[in-house]
């Protein structure tokens, strides 16, 4: 027998039904949710985040059965992917159903939908029994929240209720795959890698061109600058280590924070000229790195440094999503040298 929903979940459901905003934990990042069939509620999401209308929202559901009620078509590829990866960090772009308001999809005839793998989100969606439109619960373009405190810091009084489900265990947003194009195309790298998807569908394409911010897109997370800290951030590789002293001290100020990967050669290079407390070592395991990346970026932001340097993660499918996030959060070291 299913357990009775908690008082907090019942409160959250009432808020959603009456057009309010509820932030909630998922396995990826915290979402900022509203009833996806209520245009006034959805408008509150865009206002709270300062989000452009061209950037669509992901619709969250409790399971495949609910998803099918709100999409206009459910192709065989969607059935196969949902069996393999739902609940989980995979979002599918499908033809939009009539009940989903236009603002959710940036006015397009497609919608992004997923089923998160988190018990608190599942309980909320089960009791609400409908579609919840939800981007990440932070200000637009900034670092996504992976704890309830991050949501409070970013959005404050803009949220009617925050469902605290603890730290997110994946820490990087879902993979988004477009199933409305002639060939399945990954629009955003995330918690499910390309190889896993190809193991189910066969060859897929990957979109590697940044979106024009003035045009509507099928998926969030395609902008050139996204997931970025407030402090100017630059990416570095092993070969850039010998130049960092010049870049930092003579071009962009003396106070810098360095996010590097544990065990890399950069650590030894940096210790020649910066204090150890300026160096933040992230795990060398891809999954652990992803889990900690956004929290580390927020911590670096809070140190009031003049700039942040982030080591580019290594190549490999398990690192693709993290590399994508670092690329979008930073500018190149060569750009720093030109300042």
Q: Give the model's confidence band at 66: pLDDT under 50 very low, under 70 low, under 90 confident, else very high.
A: very high
**What average pLDDT does the segment 68-83 reach?**
98
Retrieve residue 83's tokens.
């069996």
Residues 72-81: contacts with CB under 8 Å, at least 24 apart: 72/96, 72/97, 72/98, 75/179, 77/179, 77/184, 77/201, 78/179, 80/200, 80/201, 81/177, 81/179, 81/197, 81/200, 81/201
pLDDT value, residue 336: 62
Is pTM beyond 0.85 here? yes
**Is the bond preceding residue 87 a cis peptide, omega within 30 degrees?**
yes
Average pLDDT along the chain: 90
**What average pLDDT does the segment 315-324 reach?**
93
Over residues 136-171, the pLDDT tens digits come to 999 988 999 999 999 999 998 999 999 999 999 999
Using the predicted structure, report yes or no on whether residue 222 has a pLDDT greater than 70.
no
Higher pLDDT, 305 or 93: 93
pLDDT value, residue 333: 72
Over residues 248-257, the pLDDT tens digits come to 554 445 688 9
pLDDT value, residue 59: 98
**What average pLDDT does the segment 223-227 reach?**
68
Sheet containing 31-35, strands listed edge to edge, beginning at the edge strand earlier in sequence: 161-163, 22-24, 31-35, 132-133, 58-60, 110-114, 90-95, 175-178, 185-188, 205-206
Using the predicted structure, report yes or no on whether residue 103 has a pLDDT greater than 90.
yes
Q: Give the model's confidence band at 1: pLDDT under 50 very low, under 70 low, under 90 confident, else very high.
A: very low
The fraction of the chain above a pLDDT of 70, given in percent, is 90
Using the predicted structure, report yes or no on whether residue 80 has a pLDDT greater than 50.
yes
Report whether 229 contacts 310 (CB < 8 A): no
Q: Which is it for strands 161-163 and 22-24: parallel, antiparallel or unpaired? A: parallel
Least Cα distance to 111 among 94, 86, 91 occurs for: 94
Higher pLDDT, 238 or 5: 5
253 phi and psi angles, rounded to 5 deg = 100, 160
Using DSSP, state whether 110 is helix, strand or coil: strand
**What average pLDDT does the segment 265-292 reach?**
88
Half-sphere exposure for 46 (CA within 13 Å, toward CB): 18
Q: Give the model's confidence band at 215: pLDDT under 50 very low, under 70 low, under 90 confident, else very high.
A: confident
**Which residues are registered as beta bridge partners of 32?**
23
pLDDT value, residue 311: 93
pLDDT value, residue 3: 67
Q: Give the model's confidence band at 223: pLDDT under 50 very low, under 70 low, under 90 confident, else very high.
A: low
Sheet containing 307-311, strands listed edge to edge, beginning at the edge strand earlier in sequence: 279-282, 256-261, 307-311, 233-236, 331-332
Pinpoint the alpha helices (H) of the chain. 7-17, 39-49, 64-70, 76-85, 119-128, 148-155, 194-201, 244-246, 265-270, 286-301, 320-329, 333-337
Q: Which domains are delineated in the chain?
A: 7-206 (3.90.870.10), 233-337 (3.40.50)
Q: Which is it for strands 233-236 and 331-332: parallel, antiparallel or unpaired? A: parallel
At residue 199's C-alpha, the angle toward residues 196 and 202, to 5°, is 120
């Amino acid at each position: 027998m299913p357990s009775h929903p908690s008082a907090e979940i019942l409160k959250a459901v009432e808020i959603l039904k009456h057009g309010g905003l509820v932030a909630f934990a998922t396995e990826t990042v915290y979402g900022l949710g509203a009833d996806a069939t209520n245009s006034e509620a959805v408008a509150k999401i865009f206002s709270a985040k300062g989000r452009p209308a061209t950037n669509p929202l992901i619709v969250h559901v409790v399971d495949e059965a609910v998803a099918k009620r709100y999409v206009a078509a459910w192709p065989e590829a969607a059935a196969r992917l949902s069996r393999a990866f739902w609940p989980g960090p995979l979002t599918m772009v499908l033809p939009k159903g009539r009940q989903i308001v236009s603002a959710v999809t940036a006015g397009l005839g497609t919608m992004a939908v997923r089923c998160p793998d988190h018990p608190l989100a599942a309980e909320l969606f089960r009791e609400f029994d409908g579609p919840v439109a939800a981007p990440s619960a932070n200000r637009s373009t900034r670092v996504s929240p992976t704890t309830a405190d991050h949501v409070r810091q970013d959005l404050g009084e803009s949220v009617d209720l925050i469902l605290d489900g603890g730290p997110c265990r994946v820490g990087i947003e879902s993979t988004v795959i477009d199933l409305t194009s002639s060939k399945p195309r990954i629009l955003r790298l995330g918690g499910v890698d390309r190889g896993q998807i190809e193991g189910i569908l066969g060859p897929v394409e990957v979109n590697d061109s940044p979106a024009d911010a003035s045009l509507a897109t099928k998926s969030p997370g395609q902008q050139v600058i996204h997931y970025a800290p407030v402090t100017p951030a630059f990416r570095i590789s092993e070969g850039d280590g010998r130049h960092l002293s010049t870049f930092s001290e003579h071009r962009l100020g003396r106070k810098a924070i360095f996010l590097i990967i544990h065990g890399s050669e950069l650590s030894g290079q940096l210790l020649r000229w910066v204090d150890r407390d300026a160096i933040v070592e992230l795990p060398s395991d891809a999954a652990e790195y992803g889990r900690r990346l956004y929290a580390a970026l927020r911590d670096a932001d809070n140190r009031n440094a003049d700039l942040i340097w982030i080591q580019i993660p290594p190549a490999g499918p398990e690192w693709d999503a993290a590399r994508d996030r670092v690329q979008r959060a930073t500018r190149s070291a060569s750009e720093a040298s030109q300042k």
